[in-house]
Structure 1
Amino acid sequence: MTQTLDVDIFSDIACPWCYIGKRRFEAALEQLSFAEHINVRWHSYQLDPQLPATYPGTEKDYLMESKGLDDNSIDHMLAQVTEHAAEVGLTYDFDRLKVANSFHSHRLLHAAATVGKSGEMKESLLAGHFCDGLDIGTDDDLRVMADRAGLPSDLTESVLRDKSAFAADVRDDIKTAQQLQVSGVPFFVLGQKYGLAGAQPTETFVEVLTRVWEESNPSPITLLNDDPSGQACGPDGCD
């Protein structure tokens, strides 16, 4: 019987490499004959839980303040990540990006999972944050992203109205990440057994997913040779 391979992905909406890693992972799935048997589960992680709902400054301001980086270093870093994003078809716009606390967007991600829309919600949040200049810290923009993902409006409104809704699920994910000693995202857990850190190249995803899949679904015994000189007995007698 064919098994299902669970892939648990820990990532933050505010992580540019998480979106790039998502695209590279998806490109790997397109190359796998068993992709339909892979069950992707998105999990929450926060790079900076201390951020206000919406930060009063640009991405460069935030990086200068929180990381102590100088202007030239930040320009180089953002240009580099923008280039990598473009390689997988993403158009990052750091000039329009709204720096914000990602906690409430993660609550919507968990809500989306209850209606089978976690993948769509994750995509919409990342696209809204990095490409479209939407603010993941405001209810109005979260409504836009939820609508794009196809969430029922009553579900969206209930989550935005009740700030405690799915908050425990977000915290549980963060606690699990700590227990797994996840120190950066994206982080992939394959088959609840193997960890893979970072936005790996597509080729690496193909290789490791294939290896873990074959371990979980071993092939029938392969005959090494059909040499007739090796005598044997069968139902009709012996050679």
Structure 2
Amino acid sequence: MHIDIWSDIACPWCYIGKRRFESALAGFAHKDDVTVTWHSYQLDPSLPRHYDGTEVDYLVQRKGMAADQVRQMTAHVAEQAAGEGLTYDFDSLVVANSLRAHHLLHVAARAGVQDEVKEALLDAHFVRGLDIGDDDVLVAIGGAAGVDEATVRAGLDDPEIGREVQGDFDTARSLGIQGVPFFVLDMKYAVSGAQPAEVFTQALEQAWREGNPLQPIGGDAAACGPDGCAI
């Protein structure tokens, strides 16, 4: 089974959804036969590479919400994150355009370490308060996953990588994806949002049954075939 996940590094629910999906996958009987590909999505492409202000400032400016309402919202999200073992720090969060981080995600895919880098990017942004728009931060994240500095720096400005990222954006539009996280199982089933782990479990089992309709029960036993019967 193949699972495609569209997600933005700057999306707090995407990290929570990742944890809930991983919880379901860990208990899935056929988890070793599941491959996962992370795809790029940007919630706010217009955001400057470096934004001078806090997460509260940004949401007040972009969403027109009252500061107190934003703080209540981020407190709720942080509480949900804590339930998945994640310690969000919105006070230290550095607001930044995620495009170059998505470039790193595609560089990591070529190196076979995409999941490790995706995890590190989300942790850097929401837990550690690092600037995901800073090339040196991205180089350090790539290096920790085994991708050398020269490869990361080249990939951040590589037009081919840029076309891959844009391809993810285009595919999201063609699928009608308007929010993330968004999970697509074998291009047949979709799970939208940071659903409870039980929803992911149900989706995994349903997609597996459809893709593998004949499930053997028991081991080999005596039977007959074109060449005769078992003795």
* TM-score over 0.5 for the pair: yes
Q: 1:225 — aligned with what?
A: none
Q: 2:34 — aligned with what?
A: 38
Q: CA deviation at 1:10?
A: 0.2
Q: Report which of the two structures shows the higher radius of gyration computed on alpha carbons.
A: 1
Matched residue SS, 1:40: strand
Matched residue SS, 1:36: helix
Q: 1:199 — aligned with what?
A: 194
The Cα offsets for residues 77-128 of structure 1, whole Å up to 9 and x where unpaired, read as: 0000000100111000111111011011001100110111110110010000
- One of 100, 105, 108 as aligned partner of 1:104: 100
Answer with 211-220 or 50-59: which moved more.
Answer: 211-220
Q: 1:185 — aligned with what?
A: 180
Pairing of 1:8-27 with structure 2 (within 5 A)? 8-27=4-23
C-alpha RMSD of matched pairs (Å): 1.7
Kept in 2, the 8 Å contact 1:45–1:174? The answer is yes
Q: 2:52 — aligned with what?
A: 56
Rounded to whole Å, the distance in 2 between the matches of 1:145 and 1:221 is 44
The Cα offsets for residues 176-222 of structure 1, whole Å up to 9 and x where unpaired, read as: 00111101000011111111100110011011101110111113488
Cα distance change of structure 1 residues 122 and 221 upon mapping to structure 2, 3 Å threshold: closer
Q: 2:144 — aligned with what?
A: 148
- One of 127, 136, 157 as aligned partner of 2:132: 136
Amino-acid identity (%): 50
Q: 2:225 — aligned with what?
A: none
TM-score under structure 1 length normalisation? 0.88
TM-score under structure 2 length normalisation? 0.91
Rounded to whole Å, the distance in 2 between the matches of 1:220 and 1:67 is 50
* Structure 1 stretches of at least 4 aligned residues deviating more than 3 Å after TM superposition: none
Cα distance change of structure 1 residues 220 and 119 upon mapping to structure 2, 3 Å threshold: closer
Pairing of 1:77-92 with structure 2 (within 5 A)? 77-92=73-88
Q: CA deviation at 1:150?
A: 2.6
Kept in 2, the 8 Å contact 1:53–1:137? The answer is yes
Rounded to whole Å, the distance in 2 between the matches of 1:176 and 1:92 is 30
Q: CA deviation at 1:168?
A: 0.7
Kept in 1, the 8 Å contact 2:125–2:132? The answer is yes
Kept in 2, the 8 Å contact 1:120–1:150? The answer is no
Cα distance change of structure 1 residues 138 and 163 upon mapping to structure 2, 3 Å threshold: farther
Kept in 1, the 8 Å contact 2:135–2:153? The answer is no
Q: 1:229 — aligned with what?
A: none
Matched residue SS, 2:57: helix
Rounded to whole Å, the distance in 2 between the matches of 1:89 and 1:118 is 21
